[in-house]
Structure 1
Amino acid sequence: MKRLIYIISIVCMVLVSATSCKDMDDNYKEYLDNIPTYAPAVRNLRAVSSEPGSLTLIWDIVD
């Protein structure tokens, strides 16, 4: 009985992953084509350590 449940779960997993990957690729391609992205330039990047074990990054954004 456990073996039958195992085989059925594997078959279901393969079917779900095969059908969802195709849709995911189409959606991702549409996202890349239709959504404009904004990536500002980062200048003057500094790392400041105020106490042991912590690190803070500070930067300037250039438009």
Structure 2
Amino acid sequence: MIDAFVVANDSSQEVIDERNEAAKRFYTKGRTPAVTYEWMNLRLVRYIYNEVTGTLQFEEM
């Protein structure tokens, strides 16, 4: 299955809440009988620049 990521400096609570509804996708697998599944693997990731090490640090929201 596919995992999708949105990487941003920060996201509002509205974006986090909306992800749960807007990121739903439905797909069909197989034939006779076809089965419908729901996909929701959208992960929000925040990045932070660490001035001491000069690197980006990532954390899931």
TM-score tier, shorter chain, comes to under 0.3
Greater relative contact order structure (CA < 8 Å, 6+ sep): 2
Structure of larger gyration radius: 1
Of Structure 1 and Structure 2, the greater strand share is in 2
TM-score (norm 2): 0.27
Normalising by structure 1, what TM-score? Answer: 0.26
Q: Quick check: which one's helix share is greater?
A: 1
